[in-house]
Amino acid sequence: MAQQPGARGLVFNEPLIFEHGRKGRAGCDVPKSEFPEIDPATVAPPSMLRGPLEGLAEVSEPEAVRHFTRLSQWNYGVDSNFYPLGSCTMKYNPKVNEAAARMEGFAGLHPLQDASTTQGALRVMYDLEKMLCEVAGMDAASLQPAAGAQGEFAGLLLIRAYHKEKGNPRKKVIIPDSGHGTNPASAALCDYAAVTLPSGPDGLIDLALLEKEMDGDTAALMLTNPNTLGMFEKNIKKVCEIVHAKGGLVYGDGANLNAVMGKARFGDMGIDVCHMNLHKTFSTPHGGGGPGSGPVLAKKILEPYLPAPRVTLRDGVYGLDFNRPKSIGALNAFWGNFGVYLRAYAYVLTMGGSGLKEASETAVLNANYILAKLRGAYHVPYEGTCMHECVLSDKFQQEHHVSTLDIAKGLIDRGFHPPTIYFPLIVKGAMMIEPTETESMETMDTFIAAMKEIADVAKTDPESLAAAPVTAKVKRLDETQAARQPDLRYRR
């Protein structure tokens, strides 16, 4: 068996920066000013005067460098090891994308510069919209939404605007229970009642149930395809027909696009509007809260309502069109998270059409490899092949009183970030593993070996898993206490 990457090394304790240093210490010696000092109180009004500053860290340069270097060593990211967080597509971010985003001509732009001086940036946005439309099979796009949830919000606002113009915004949105977790919240924010549609026994949308639930009061069906069970809604065309027959629209959550990119297109399936997560499928950074980017893409019927401004190309000149009377408005300060667009643009160009297709194929193959290797050691709630992620459960381990949480903690001891746990909600004790196309067979084999070893330990020494993690910087945390009495603020 290959050696596990987890080990105890020179791992440092590190207090907060405020607890370092001492009064008067500084990282550099600032020469005395050659101009006479002026007391601000003699020249500025009292409202503009600042009192003495308390509590700032006073440290030397090596103290500051060590502090932040040590903190960075506690970090775990896709640049350190396998990050199998299902439903999150934690794929590797190629460094060439970073080089593109740091090019001075882009990085130095100001959003209020005249369009005549930002033609290159506008072209990137214009071309990226076209590329994404090509991948999604849609007619028009806006890059503005700052993340997936805002993309959903934008999509539902488009749907609302569409129905409203027809005379009735309608009242509810149907969401399968295998949908993405943010979907009901997006519906509620757009003043729609979210109606949950239970999955059929095969983990897919139950057509008869949908037919029953779908009525003239339903604005839209929001679905994730493949769904959060990692299964492709193979009846998607029929699903869209049922919704369209009652005048409703279909929203496609692009969270799981990495399974079908270049293979199947939302537009061709009959979906009217969707979003994509550039920070997932298109390899832009994802951790630390972003910034993300969740472009919204739509069919022609929804184009008039897209967020303003739109990027335009007229007579070879790029511009921004603010004159969009039917638009749902702006969703983001200025033009969205432009640095993310550059990374996605570089990704699409470096991969090419065939490369994007191959990425999806490899992502699906990898997930099925893990599923096939772990079947038997772990319970598989929905049989058959999976898409880009696989779902296991702790059913077998529960016989020894070992839970999904214990398995996740056991993985930390073996040097792996745990997968997504207790999601999707419809699977008891779920573990959702998404390797993406990033991982090599060797990495996956090491992970599989760790998972199998945990399954063995669950039988022979279950208590040891209840204590895990033991090699981590911080041992098992009391999550209940943390949730019941959160301590959120630093106090000296």
Partner 1 sequence: MEYPDGLHYTKDHEWALEEEGVVTIGITDYAQSELGDVVFVELPEEGTVIKAGEPFGVVESVKSVSDLYTPVSGEVLEINGDLESEPELVNSSCYDAGWMIKIAVSNKKELGELLSADQYADYIKSLK
Name which of 90 and 405 has its Cβ closer to partner 1. Answer: 405
Provide the strand spans (E) within 273-350: 273-275, 296-298, 310-314, 317-321
Does 37 contact partner 1 by CB under 8 A? no
Q: List strand residue ranges (DSSP E) for 364-443, in order.
A: 390-393, 420-421, 430-433
For the CA atoms of 409, 228, 306, 263, what is the dihedral angle to 10 degrees? 110
What is the C-alpha separation between 133 and 110, in angstroms, rounded? 27
CB under 8 A: which stretch of 109-117, 260-268, 315-323, 480-488 binds partner 1?
480-488
Using DSSP, state whether 14 is helix, strand or coil: coil
Site string for partner 1, 428-467 (x = CB under 8 A): x---------------------------------------
Task: Compare residues 13 and 480 and give the one whose CB is closer to partner 1.
Answer: 480
Is 483 near partner 1 (CB under 8 A)?
Answer: yes
- The correct pick among 34, 442, 479, 487 for binding partner 1 (CB under 8 A) is 479
Nearest Cα neighbor of 426 from 186, 205, 172 is: 205
Residue 422 makes contact with partner 1 by CB under 8 A? yes
Non-local (6+) Cβ contacts of 43 within 8 A are none
CB 253 within 8 A of CB 89: no
Identify the burial level of 200 via C-beta atoms within 10 angstroms of its C-beta, where 0-12 means exposed, 13-18 middle and 19 or more buried: middle
Closest approach of Cβ 428 to partner 1, in Å?
8
Q: Which stretch binds partner 1 (CB under 8 A): 285-293, 349-357, 435-443, 478-486?
A: 478-486
Give yes or no for residue 487 binding partner 1 (CB under 8 A): no
- Per CB under 8 A, contacts with partner 1 among 258-297 are none
Q: How far apart are CA 218 and CA 66, in angstroms?
A: 57
Tokens of 41: 């109180």
Closer to partner 1 by Cβ: residue 199 or 284:
199
Q: Does 480 bind partner 1 (CB under 8 A)?
A: yes
d(CA 372, CA 392): 11
Interaction of residue 185 with partner 1, rule CB under 8 A: no
Provide the minimum distance between the beta carbon of 345 and partner 1 in the complex, in angstroms, as a whole number: 38
Q: Given the complex with partner 1, which of 24 and 201 has the nearer CB atom? A: 201
Q: Give the x-and-dash track for 95-134 against partner 1 (CB under 8 A).
A: ----------------------------------------
Q: Which of 484, 489, 491, 492 binds partner 1 (CB under 8 A)?
A: 484
Comparing CB distances to partner 1, the nearer of 16 and 477 is: 477
Based on CB atoms, which residue is closest to partner 1, 84 or 429? Answer: 429
Q: In the range 147-176, which residues lie near partner 1 by CB under 8 A?
A: none
Kindly tell me which of 369 and 423 has the beta carbon lying closer to partner 1. 423
The answer to whether 49 contacts partner 1 (rule: CB under 8 A) is no
Query: Applying CB under 8 A, which part among 77-85, 225-233, 253-261, 479-487 lies near partner 1?
Result: 479-487
CA distances from 309 to 132, 257, 327 (A): 18, 26, 9
C-beta of 331 vs 411, nearer to partner 1 = 411
CB-nearer residue toward partner 1: 182 or 258: 182
CA 472 to chain centre: 26
How many Å apart are CA 388 and CA 409, to the nearest integer?
24
Least Cβ distance, residue 479 to partner 1 (angstroms): 5
Residues 6 or more apart whose Cβ sits within 8 Å of residue 167: none
DSSP secondary structure, 219-266, as one string: EEEEEESS-TTS---TTHHHHHHHHHHTT-EEEEEGGGGGGTTTT--H
Instruction: Indicate the residue among 326 and 428 with the shorter CB distance to partner 1.
Output: 428
3-state secondary structure of 470: coil
Residue 126 CA, chain-centre distance (Å), reads: 23
Tell me which residues in 377-416 interact with partner 1 (CB under 8 A).
405
Largest pairwise CA distance in the chain: 84
Looking at beta carbons only, is 16 or 425 nearer to partner 1? 425
Binder of partner 1 out of 425, 441, 467, 470 (CB under 8 A) = 425
Q: Where on the chain is the footprint of partner 1 (CB under 8 A)?
A: 405, 422, 425, 428, 479-480, 483-484
